[in-house]
Amino acid sequence: MSSYKSWVTVPKGSHFSLANIPFGIISTAADSRPRPAVAIGEHVLDLCVFAANGGFSALPDSTAYLHVFQQSTLNDFAALGRPVHRAVRVYLQDVFRAETPYPDVLRDNAGLREQVLLPLASVTNHMPLHVGDYADFFAGYYHALKAIQVYDVQLADNYTHMPVGYNGRSSAVVLSGTPIRRPLGQFRETKDSAPVFGATRQLDFEVELGCFIGRPSRFSEPIGVDDAEDHIFGVVLLNDWSARDIQAWEMPPLGPVNGKSFGTSISPWVVLADALAPFRTAAVANPTTVLPYLQQADANNVYDIKLHATLTTPSGNTQVVTSLSSKHTLWSFPQMIAHQSSNGCPMRSGDIMASGTISGPTRFEHGTFLEINDNGALSSDIAGKEERSYLLDGDTLELSGVCGDDEEALVGFGTCVGTILPALVK
Amino acid sequence: MSSYKSWVTVPKGSHFSLANIPFGIISTAADSRPRPAVAIGEHVLDLCVFAANGGFSALPDSTAYLHVFQQSTLNDFAALGRPVHRAVRVYLQDVFRAETPYPDVLRDNAGLREQVLLPLASVTNHMPLHVGDYADFFAGYYHALKAIQVYDVQLADNYTHMPVGYNGRSSAVVLSGTPIRRPLGQFRETKDSAPVFGATRQLDFEVELGCFIGRPSRFSEPIGVDDAEDHIFGVVLLNDWSARDIQAWEMPPLGPVNGKSFGTSISPWVVLADALAPFRTAAVANPTTVLPYLQQADANNVYDIKLHATLTTPSGNTQVVTSLSSKHTLWSFPQMIAHQSSNGCPMRSGDIMASGTISGPTRFEHGTFLEINDNGALSSDIAGKEERSYLLDGDTLELSGVCGDDEEALVGFGTCVGTILPALVK
């Protein structure tokens, strides 16, 4: 697709084509300051140094906010709202375009290029935003249907009426690559036995998307469902690591806490809402007519992102354990935002709204081992050499996600990875 | 009690005696910077200006950390840990003592006194710490027993085995005095009717304590129950405003969200753990032998704080609607910290662990209108002139809390106040 041709080499199949331009926070061996950057192909553009050297001089009105690129997180940039994100992204696309209208800014400016266009492999990623609150929903419709079947319970009456969710623990949200220690916790070995304290025996992953809030809202001011899109900064892959035995025992009546809060991994590059717009599609049709505050004018309110989870064992055996589309949710991010803010709860820049596990309608599209293996009754074949019901110590679980079919214009997320460390001795 | 005699006038009955020395964040008309202070009697000591003018010069090793008093929150001070909090508090008590060993520092230093000793009534309070995560527990034993009776449900099997709780929304934690808008939300008018969206009809208060984390813990590193005390900075009054109809409908299966997250008020002055130490007592005896990770060596693990909730109507009628001791919990803050961190969930300076509603064993000691009025079946008499089942628009609910019997050496919290604003038109 010629409109996404860049003078920067973008290998075919790269997640970071000119159609994407995701934002993250990087540091380098030469400059340890965490600072904003965008990724393109196998390079990143250091926005901090780029901004400080006049890189945005051709972008109208940008001087008013260029200080955001001197920050160590993207929160201040996110807070500026969609029109600014759009202007900056479109400008950077123009700067990188093969036939750039601004050749002197970077393409033909070897001195600046040398300073700001860095090999992706040479940078260290940091948390892209400081996370204020992290809410996790239960929007994956087929996940909900399968989960209640596994646990032999009924779907709650509220499920089709509102985006049901819980508030998670923002202190435990970590960047992809952070090792995840198998948690200790309290659980029952059988349904009628006394609880014990020990390392979880049912360590699971969850395939999710996380939506970062951009423009904040104020205390006591709800966000309307059709205004909510303006409050979205972008999206990351999110793995809500879960200890099923701990979670099952603790949940009644206040919901999950320790079964979740030992680690929640996110991918480092935030794909802006604008970059995902071409991949919007309809959510799962809701059998219930929802209340007006949740009725969204745009029927294409979720994204069709191809998601994969890949397990690599300590022996080096690798297996894609599930593949699915992110579209299989009953609720959209705008609906989650409208619902959670309907009572006046403030949304801050950097808050995360997560989808909850997404699963597709077939047994090949489950987003957790809980579903894939019927809570331990079955096991997944790993490259014909090993089996897994749940995650074992040393296992590495990688999520990946990508939109589009044009290998030269993919909008991808890269990966979200974590390796399981053995439990601490209790 | 002569040992708590100060050269600063401390009126009899003041919550802020020399035995207390609570920490907060203030600003003034003359200096709008939010900055740390302590309260004593009807004055505050501006720690920012005091530190910058050599006020701590007689405190050994303090230069290493005096920068924390230049911050706009107490997070950095809290992070220093109990030995530093103790040294600073004891030093300030000595500075304020009638027979101070450091007369030149302040008592006899009119110039500095003028700058740093300000009338309490002249300062504006701000949030004492930036709240990272806010977890709310269900530790009030008699509250739990009454709540299940009101809703005609069983106590969950896990209740006596672990401090059951949920993560709340830190974005909605606000300072005492912030008006609370009656939330809109989704609820059912009868148990079998379709949900509607509107203003809550069951707006309630909850008498709680909030414990601020001081010294942080690291990702994947549990805090032992007997080490947890070292991670406590101090305690505030906390009113977990609740919309019972919204909460009841949303709870299954993931717990409360919108029924809580429209506002959670805290008192402005943090009473340090050391100040509360003389008022430690035994918690409710647990009928269950808890697992070793929750067995606390010190049996006196909760505080005996006299708590009151006072309602004032728009007509000006005032009534103490409940009085109780904070000791009636099944779980202590160290147990909550040990439990929530047992899976490696990090605790950050400024995170809040809240008790959940505390109620005493009799019907005069319930900590919510839900319990006092059997979820709307009864109503509370307000000064013989009005009645309330739940809160009405314009009502002001004030929590207060105080320890001790010596009117000249009280350790109190001041108040935690909120006035109900009418709902937005939906």
Over the stretch B275-328, which tens digit does the pLDDT of each residue have?
999 999 999 999 999 999 999 999 999 999 999 999 999 999 999 999 999 999
| Residue A2: how many other CB atoms lie within 10 Å | 8
DSSP string, A137-198: E--BHHHHHHHHHHHT-PPPTTTTTS--EEE--GGGEEETT--EEPPEEEEESSTTSPEEEE
Which residues, in sequence order, are bridge partners of residue A180? A420
Q: Say if residue A253 is preceded by a cis peptide, omega within 30 of 0.
A: yes
Given this model, what pLDDT does residue A1 score? 44
H helical segments located in A63-105:
75-79, 82-96
Q: Do B420 and B392 touch, CB atoms closer than 8 A?
A: yes
- Count Cα neighbours of B71 within 13 Å in the Cβ-side half-sphere: 17
Residue A7 has φ and ψ, to the nearest 5°, of -75, -15
CA pair distance A405, B160, nearest whole angstrom: 55
Provide, rounded to the nearest whole percent, the portion of chain A with pLDDT above 90. Answer: 98
Which tokens hold the place of A144? 């909900």
3-state helix, strand, coil in chain B (%, to 5): 20, 30, 50
CA pair distance A302, A265, nearest whole angstrom: 22
Where in the sequence numbering do the catalytic residues of A fall? Answer: 143
Could you tell me the pLDDT band of residue A425, with boundaries at 50, 70 and 90? confident
Considering only CB atoms, which chain A residues are within 8 Å of B257? Answer: 135, 165-167, 340
- pLDDT of B1 > 50? The answer is no
Residue A241 has φ and ψ, to the nearest 5°, of -50, 135
Partner A contacted by B293 (CB < 8 A): yes
Give every CB contact of residue B16 below 8 A, 6+ residues apart in sequence. Answer: B10, B22, B39, B40, B41, B120, B269, B412, B414
Domain map (residue ranges) of chain A: 23-126, 134-421
Partner B contacted by A243 (CB < 8 A): yes
H helical segments located in B130-203:
141-151
Interface size, chain A vs chain B, as Cβ–Cβ contacts under 8 Å: 206
CA pair distance A124, A120, nearest whole angstrom: 9
CA pair distance B37, B14, nearest whole angstrom: 17
In this structure, which amino acid lies at residue B96? F
- Choose the mutation target among A254, A291, A357 for the interface with B, i.e. most B CBs under 10 Å: A254
Tell me what the pLDDT averaged over chain A comes to.
97
- pLDDT of A216 > 90? The answer is yes
Could you tell me the pLDDT band of residue B191, with boundaries at 50, 70 and 90? confident
Given this model, what pLDDT does residue A426 score? 63
Which tokens hold the place of B235? 């305690």
| Nearest residue to A53 via CA among A117, A108, A112 | A112
H helical segments located in B256-406:
273-276, 333-341, 369-372
| Residue A338: how many other CB atoms lie within 10 Å | 24
Range A99-121 average pLDDT: 98
* Structure confidence by residue, pLDDT tens digits, B80-96: 999 999 999 999 999 99
Range A127-136 average pLDDT: 98
Considering only CB atoms, which chain B residues are within 8 Å of A189? Answer: none
CA pair distance A103, A58, nearest whole angstrom: 11
Residue B418 has φ and ψ, to the nearest 5°, of -155, 145
Given this model, what pLDDT does residue A3 score? 83
- pLDDT of B127 > 50? The answer is yes
Three-state secondary structure call for residue A322: strand
| Residue B337: how many other CB atoms lie within 10 Å | 28
Three-state secondary structure call for residue B379: coil
Residues 143-172 of chain A whose Cβ lies under 8 A from any Cβ of chain B: 153, 156-158, 161-162, 164-172
Three-state secondary structure call for residue B412: strand
Residue A119 has φ and ψ, to the nearest 5°, of -60, 130
The alpha carbon dihedral of B19, B22, B27, B33 has a sign of positive
Q: Do A333 and A228 touch, CB atoms closer than 8 A?
A: yes
Given this model, what pLDDT does residue A191 score? 87
In this structure, which amino acid lies at residue A96? F
Which tokens hold the place of B298? 């010190």
Given this model, what pLDDT does residue B417 score? 98
Which H helix or E strand runs over A38? strand A35-40
- pLDDT of A161 > 60? The answer is yes
Given this model, what pLDDT does residue B203 score? 98
CATH architecture of the domain with range A134-421: Alpha-Beta Complex (3.90)
- Choose the mutation target among B187, B220, B341 for the interface with A, i.e. most A CBs under 10 Å: B220
CB contact under 8 A, A158 and B291: no
Which DSSP state fits A253? T
Could you tell me the pLDDT band of residue B3, with boundaries at 50, 70 and 90? confident
Query: Regarding beta strands B264-266 and B173-175, do their DSSP bridges make them parallel or antiparallel, or are they unpaired?
Result: parallel
Range B10-32 average pLDDT: 98
The alpha carbon dihedral of B341, A391, A13, A211 has a sign of negative
Residues 271-290 of chain B whose Cβ lies under 8 A from any Cβ of chain A: none
Which tokens hold the place of B421? 């604003």
Q: Do A135 and A165 touch, CB atoms closer than 8 A?
A: yes
Residue B257 has φ and ψ, to the nearest 5°, of -135, -80
Partner A contacted by B351 (CB < 8 A): yes
DSSP string, A324-371: EETT-BSS-HHHHHHHHHTT-----TT-EEE------SSTT--SSHHH
Distance of CA B154 to the CA centre of its chain: 29
Considering only CB atoms, which chain A residues are within 8 Å of B247? Answer: none
Right CATH for A23-126 from 3.30.70.20, 2.30.30.230, 3.40.640.10, 3.30.60.50: 2.30.30.230
| Nearest residue to B15 via CA among B265, B285, B236 | B236
| Residue B39: how many other CB atoms lie within 10 Å | 26
CA triple B10-B13-B16, angle to 5 deg: 55
- Choose the mutation target among B225, B251, B254, B355 for the interface with A, i.e. most A CBs under 10 Å: B254
CA pair distance A409, A267, nearest whole angstrom: 20
Q: Do B82 and B215 touch, CB atoms closer than 8 A?
A: yes
- Please list, residue by residue across A296-312, b when 16 or more beta carbons sit within 10 angstroms of its beta carbon and e when fewer do: beeeebbbbbbbbbbbb
| Nearest residue to A170 via CA among B305, B170, B370 | B170
- pLDDT of B45 > 90? The answer is yes
ipTM over 0.90: yes
Q: Do A232 and B316 touch, CB atoms closer than 8 A?
A: no
CA pair distance B208, B236, nearest whole angstrom: 9
Q: How far is CA A25 from CA A36, A419, B381, in A?
A: 4, 22, 58
pTM of the model: 0.98
Distance in Å, alpha carbon of B2 to nearest chain A alpha carbon = 45
* Structure confidence by residue, pLDDT tens digits, A226-270: 999 999 999 999 999 999 999 999 999 999 999 999 999 999 999
Partner A contacted by B187 (CB < 8 A): no
CA pair distance A368, B401, nearest whole angstrom: 47
- pLDDT of B253 > 80? The answer is yes
Which H helix or E strand runs over B25? strand B23-27
Residue B396 has φ and ψ, to the nearest 5°, of -115, 125
Provide, rounded to the nearest whole percent, the portion of chain A with pLDDT above 70. Answer: 99
Range B225-243 average pLDDT: 98
Given this model, what pLDDT does residue A210 score? 98
Residue A125 has φ and ψ, to the nearest 5°, of -90, 150
DSSP string, A372-411: HTTTTTS-EEETTTEEESS--TT-EEEEEEEE-S-TTS-E
- pLDDT of A150 > 90? The answer is yes
